[in-house]
């Protein structure tokens, strides 16, 4: 006579067990990605005394291909398939690589000249009737490149074009590609960050020397 009363009790026990098991299987809070940039850069400005300032230069926004538009930190396994670009899962740049690179390039150029943005250059043109030369840079490669499972480098490649605007139209003064790679101190995301920052600084130094040549 008591059998029908036992079934609800059994079902209740099973339901409670499933609920407890379900709670235990709930995922933890999503891990927040670690953000990186190139570091603070030089802590002191280089001395400018005795060095004549160069002509003002307009620095355009840096172009980049679609895969470098976001903040993902990318790597390539050169020893397996160098054509495949892979993202680190929990490591990201604080800004898109093109923005980080432009910031570093502008700081370096500003050590010897006035550097203008696109809007500032337009203002100078309206007020003074002349347009400063414009430096355009395209970021073509920016990746943590693994030459082997135990050896990797930060690889940066850009294309730079120096343009002069005249009444007859724009004229290309010079154009050149720059590439640098620097060894990574570790074969992981933090190691890639240090290598890419060092490779970027090397490319920036080469661009500053190149663009400062008389033409």
Q: Is 26 helix (H, G, I), strand (E, B) or coil?
A: coil
Q: Is 95 helix (H, G, I), strand (E, B) or coil?
A: coil
SS (H, E, C) 27-60: CCCCCCCEEECCCCCCCCCCCCCCCCCEEEEEEC
Confidence (pLDDT) at 126: 55
pLDDT higher than 60, residue 36: yes
Please give the share of the chain, as a percent, with pLDDT higher than 90: 64
Confidence (pLDDT) at 24: 46
Q: How many other C-beta atoms can be found within 10 angstroms of the C-beta atom of residue 181?
A: 20
| Dist CA 101 CA 109 (whole Å) | 12
More confident residue, 144 or 40: 144
Structure tokens at 13: 């026990």
Q: Is 182 helix (H, G, I), strand (E, B) or coil?
A: strand
Q: How many other C-beta atoms can be found within 10 angstroms of the C-beta atom of residue 60?
A: 16
Q: How many other C-beta atoms can be found within 10 angstroms of the C-beta atom of residue 64?
A: 21
| Dist CA 70 CA 148 (whole Å) | 26
| Dist CA 184 CA 155 (whole Å) | 10
Domains and CATH numbers, the chain: 54-211 (3.40.50.10610)
Q: What is the CA radius of gyration of the chain?
A: 27
Give me the phi and psi of 63, to 5 degrees please: -85, 155
| Dist CA 135 CA 208 (whole Å) | 11
Task: Please write the tens of the pLDDT for every residue from 107-163.
Answer: 999 999 999 987 776 666 556 667 889 999 999 999 999 999 999 999 999 999 999
Confidence (pLDDT) at 5: 43
Q: Mean pLDDT in the chain?
A: 84
């Amino acid at each position: 006579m008591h059998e029908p009363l036992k079934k609800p009790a059994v079902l209740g026990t099973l339901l409670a067990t499933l609920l407890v098991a379900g709670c235990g299987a709930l995922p933890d809070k999503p891990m927040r990605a670690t953000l990186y940039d190139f570091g603070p850069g030089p802590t002191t400005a280089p001395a400018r005394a005795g060095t004549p300032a160069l002509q003002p230069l307009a620095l355009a926004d840096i172009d980049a291909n679609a895969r470098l538009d976001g903040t993902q930190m990318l790597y390539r396994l050169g020893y397996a398939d160098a054509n495949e670009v892979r993202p680190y899962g929990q490591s990201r740049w604080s800004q898109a690589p093109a923005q980080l690179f432009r910031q570093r390039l502008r700081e370096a150029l500003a050590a010897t000249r006035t550097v203008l943005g696109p809007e500032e250059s337009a203002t100078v043109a309206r007020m003074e009737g002349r347009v400063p030369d414009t430096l355009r840079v395209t970021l073509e490669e920016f990746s943590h490149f693994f030459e082997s499972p135990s050896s990797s480098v930060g690889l940066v490649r850009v294309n730079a074009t120096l343009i002069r605007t005249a009444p007859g139209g724009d004229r290309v003064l010079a154009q050149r590609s720059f590439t640098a790679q620097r060894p990574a101190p570790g074969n992981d995301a933090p190691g890639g960050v240090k290598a890419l920052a060092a490779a970027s600084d090397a490319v920036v130094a080469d661009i500053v020397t190149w663009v400062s040549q008389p033409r």
